[in-house]
Every structure is written in structure tokens, then in C-alpha cells.
Amino acid sequence: MTARRPAASDAFVDGDLASAIANTRSRITFVTGSAELEEIAGKPLVVPQRGELTGHTLRGKRKDYRCERLPLVGGGQADVFKATHKPSGQVVALKKLRDKYPFPRQIARMGREIEFGRRLHGHPHAMPVLDFDHENTWFVMPYAQATAEQCRDRFADIHTLRSLVEALCSVLTVAHREGWIHRDIKPANILLNDRWVLADWGIVKRPSGQTTDAQRTRVGVFLGSDGFAAPELYNDAHGVGPTVDIYSLGQFIGWAVTGETPLVNVPLVPKSGPWRTVVREATQMDPARRPATISDLLDIVSQELDEPQDPPLLIGEHLQRELAGGSPDAAEQLVALAAAKNDDAALYCDLLINTPLDPLIPALLSDPGRAIEITHSMAQLLGSHRPPERGEVDAVIMWLIAIAKKAAAASELELLETCCSGAFEWNSSWDQWSPQATISTWISTLAGDAASSVAAMPRQHPGCAAHLQHLAHDIRIDHRIRKAISSP
């Protein structure tokens, strides 16, 4: 590639891209993402999707399209026709203003629909604008297979309806984040291509402060569709927020579940079933009582539709019974549960501590890193959900020392140190006689790396060292442990 030299630049080596950049500094800008590029270009980027019209074919020329004689959809200010893109033969939908000489407000509304369609271009659940008239009298979009009106029978399946609701919520989340409100969500505006898309942004509300004509949406002038429109759209369609779309979503769900057409300002709440609460909350007459955001609405959907998970303690009790019955997998499953729920004090201090340790040891030692997390959690969780009693403290210390013994024998020094740290800390605080006798007997047998690791623990927990002073002059004990115990 031969570098092009600006007229005012000094000579540079042809083919040297770095020199080319250095000598065209006023013409080159580095960007880190599409947002910066859109800012420089002054318009949204339109990224072609598979199967869309691309390149020189996007000319904004009405003659590139052959429309069928009768519209697919008519109403309001525009008609939608099935059309063919002549250069490619692709079947599309062309939406155009009905009047030959439309009013400026009609043009402005279609311009707003084109603008926002292009802003959402690339979102999987927004209807893209493929081509458009720069005079804002028509635009082209993919040809839809069906509308939600034609597919209502599918929504008897709870998973199908939930998938559709989540698709709508995903595109509304983006729109609301940027301050745009759809204001006309209804079955006819929910279309099926290879996936569900939300279409017809013709009466979309711009973000606050970006309205180009304050009189276009006047107080007392209704916008929306009867039955699906929120009550406030009948009074002040310009002052509304995201909760109007949430109301319409609630009415759409009620329509999908009951098969009934909603009445004006009458929430269509199902008589029973998992969607009842979702619709009831979304269609509160007072906007302040509805979920404030799409995320809040999705939380309610999850709350009502997700299968509740059993508490870890109940799962643990089941595995404990399986373990007692000789299940070969129960020990691994219980250890894995403890690792996954290492903040659940009831699981640890009410169940794990009371489970026979011997069957769990192989599962613990099979993954020392996981065992370290579990033993650390046991020491940390004791007393976190209720004041500990001496018997519980004894049990935890003895549990940790039992694992420490196995870790020492297997030369798992980090696990050994974690167990001893937790056991010595609780012994330091509670001065437990029975555990001290066990610790004294055990550390008298240690040598080598294990003795070195354990010797570090009394230095970290001086209170425990004080409880072991009677071993300081026992010559049978490793000299490092004796020194750690006797150190002031």
C-alpha cells in the first residue's frame, strides 16, 4: 500500500504507515469504539445484519421497491405493504405515509420512527430500518412472518410467553436507558421474524429536553391503543415515563394468558396462575405503585416463575441421609455443596459439623484447594448465626484438628496450616480443655515439614501458646514447636 502524502507535508518513505499517520495528523482520529465513531459522524452507525440490504442498494429511492396493491396493515397515518426490493429480489415490508401531501407532524413522527429504528439497529429484538426516504415519508424493514396477535395460542406455554416477554424487556431496557418511551406496546406491534421484535416506534417519546415540537404531544390528547395504553396516556402523554410501557407489557401478558381483549383503564389480571402477580403489579393504576424499571419487572417475573431452590441446609440433610445409607456419591456431593455455599452458617455449623468426618476425608483431600476454603469457612462461620456454646466450639476445634491430622499425613501443608489456624484461634479465645488435650497429644508426634508448619501457629495465636506452656520443656517434641510455645 502506497501512503498518500498531503500537499503541505514533508517527504516521507512510501509504504511507511507510521509516517503517513504522522503526516496526516489533522485527518486521522483514533477511536476506541462505535460510540466515539458515531459522535464524530454525527449519526448512528448502521451495521448490516445477515440477509439485509447492503451497499449501493440502500439509495433511499422509492422506485427500488415494488409494492403489492393492497396494504398488509392500514391505520393511523401510515400503511404497511409487502414489497420486493427490485435489485436483489428480497421480500421486505415498506411502511409509507398514507397521504400524498402529509402534514409536517406526520412526517416528523415517521422521521422519529426512522431515527430510533436506526439507533437500535443491531439489537436482536428491535425491528431494523433497512432503507428509508430522507424526506421521512417511507422506510423499509424486514418482512415479518406473523404478529403476536396471530400467535396467541402459542402463549399457553409458559416458557414461550416468558421468552417473548424477556425479548421485549431487553429492547425496552436499552430504549429506557437512553430516555425513549415506546408508548404503544400491543400485540399488533410485536412481530415474528426468526425471533420476536418490537416494532412501530411511531409515537415514541424522545428523551426529556430533546422534543423538537412541544405541541406535537399536547396535554389532553390521547396517544396509544385503547386497552393496552396506561391511564396517564389519556391525560398527559408527553409527561410519562417508563412505567407506561410497563403497564402495556402487563396488559399484553394479561391478553396472552386470558385471551380477552383488555378494556380501557381496566387491568386484565388473570384469575390465577403464575402470571397473576406479574400483571397485577405491572398494571397498577397509580404509576408510582408499578415496578419502576424493566429490571424491577423482570425481578417479579423471576420471583413468580422460577422454581424455588431448596435451602442448602435441606439439600445437605438429604445428602447426609444418603451418606448414612451408603451412597458412593453423597460424600463428594456434600463437600461440593459446602464449597459452593461457603457463607451458609446453618449448613456448616448445624449439619456439616455433625456429619461423620471419615467418609468425607477422601473427598476433602481429593481437592486440597477446595478443602482449604471449607475449613477456613468453618472457623469463620461459627457464631455468625447465633452465639456459640462451648460444646459447639469444642466440636469445631476437634473437626479442624481431625482434618489437620489427615493433611499432615498427606503432606498437604497449606491445608494443615489453615486447619490449625482456625482451631488455635478458637482455642485461644475459649480455653477449651478437651481440645487442648487432643492438640497436645497430636503435636507431640509431629516432625519435619508438618512440625514446621504447626510451629508457626502458636506465634500467630499467642493465647493458644499460653495454653500449651506445659509442653515447652518436653524434649520429645520438635524443637521448633517448643520454641514457638515458649516464646514470649
The answer to whether residue 314 sits within a structural domain is: no
Structural domain ending residue among the three candidates 123, 142, 161: 142
Query: Cα 284 to the chain's mean position, in Å?
Result: 26
The answer to whether residue 78 sits within a structural domain is: yes
C-alpha angle 373-375-376 in degrees, rounded to nearest 5: 65
Single out the residue of 125, 127, 237, 221 nearest to residue 171, CA to CA. 125
The answer to whether residue 46 sits within a structural domain is: no
Print pLDDT tens along the chain (488 aa): 444 444 443 443 444 545 554 555 455 566 555 556 555 555 444 444 444 554 335 688 999 999 999 998 766 688 999 999 999 999 999 999 988 888 988 999 899 899 988 888 889 999 999 999 999 999 999 999 999 999 999 999 999 999 999 999 999 999 999 999 999 999 999 999 889 999 988 888 888 755 555 444 444 444 768 899 999 998 888 889 999 999 999 999 999 999 999 999 999 999 999 999 999 999 999 999 999 999 999 999 999 999 878 899 999 999 999 999 999 999 999 999 999 999 999 999 999 999 999 999 999 999 999 999 999 999 999 989 889 888 899 999 999 999 999 999 999 999 999 999 999 888 888 876 788 888 888 988 999 999 999 988 888 888 777 778 788 888 888 999 888 888 65
> Is there a contact between 427 and 397 (Cβ–Cβ < 8 Å)?
yes
Query: DSSP string spanning 155-174?
Result: GGSHHHHHHHHHHHHHHHHH
Instruction: Map residue 238 onto helix, strand or coil.
Output: coil
Cα–Cα distance measured from residue 105 to residue 250, given in angstroms and rounded to the nearest whole number = 30
C-alpha angle 363-391-463 in degrees, rounded to nearest 5: 90
Looking at the structure, do residues 479 and 354 belong to the same domain, yes or no? yes
> Is there a contact between 460 and 424 (Cβ–Cβ < 8 Å)?
yes
Looking at the structure, do residues 354 and 248 belong to the same domain, yes or no? no
The answer to whether residue 337 sits within a structural domain is: no
Looking at the structure, do residues 285 and 409 belong to the same domain, yes or no? no
Q: What residues make up the domain containing 93?
A: 55-142
The answer to whether residue 180 sits within a structural domain is: yes
> Is there a contact between 301 and 162 (Cβ–Cβ < 8 Å)?
yes
The answer to whether residue 319 sits within a structural domain is: no
Domain count of the fold of the chain: 3
DSSP bridge partners of 83: 67, 92
**Whole-prediction pTM value?**
0.60
Cα–Cα distance measured from residue 254 to residue 262, given in angstroms and rounded to the nearest whole number = 8
Looking at the structure, do residues 397 and 417 belong to the same domain, yes or no? yes
> Is there a contact between 386 and 425 (Cβ–Cβ < 8 Å)?
no
Single out the residue of 103, 139, 240 nearest to residue 185, CA to CA. 240
Looking at the structure, do residues 286 and 350 belong to the same domain, yes or no? no
The answer to whether residue 328 sits within a structural domain is: no
CATH of the domain at 128: 3.30.200.20
Give the H/E segment covering residue 73.
Answer: strand 73-75
DSSP bridge partners of 126: 198
The answer to whether residue 23 sits within a structural domain is: no
